[in-house]
Amino acid sequence: MGLLIAKLKTIFAEAEEQQREVVFLCIGSDRYIGDSLGPLIGSMLLESGISHSVYGTLEEPVHAFNLKVALKDIHRQNSNPLVISIDASLGTKEQVGNVLFNEGPLVPGKALEKMLPEVGDYHFQGIVNYLDPFPSSQFLNDTRLHTVMKLAKLITEIIVDSDNEQ
Alpha carbon 36 to its chain centroid, in Å, reads 10
Neighbour-count burial of 105, counting CB atoms closer than 10 A to its CB (0-12 exposed, 13-18 middle, 19+ buried): middle
Q: Which domain holds residue 73?
A: 2-164
The answer, as to whether pTM is greater than 0.85, is: yes
Report pLDDT for 1.
83
The string of pLDDT tens digits covering residues 16-32 is 999 999 999 999 999 99
Report pLDDT for 116.
83
Write out the H or E segment, with its range, that includes residue 74: helix 67-77
pLDDT higher than threshold 50 for residue 47: yes
Name the domain count of the chain.
1
Report pLDDT for 48.
97
The string of pLDDT tens digits covering residues 142-159 is 899 999 999 999 999 999
- Mean of per-residue pLDDT scores for the chain: 91
pLDDT higher than threshold 60 for residue 136: no
DSSP-derived 3-state class of residue 21: coil
Q: In the chain, count of helices (H) and strands (E)?
A: 5, 5
Q: Which of 6-10, 20-24, 116-120 has the lowest mean pLDDT?
A: 116-120
Q: Which of 20-29, 66-75, 157-166 has the lowest mean pLDDT?
A: 157-166
CATH of the domain at 107: 3.40.50.1470
Mean pLDDT to the nearest integer, 54-81: 95
The string of pLDDT tens digits covering residues 101-112 is 999 999 887 656
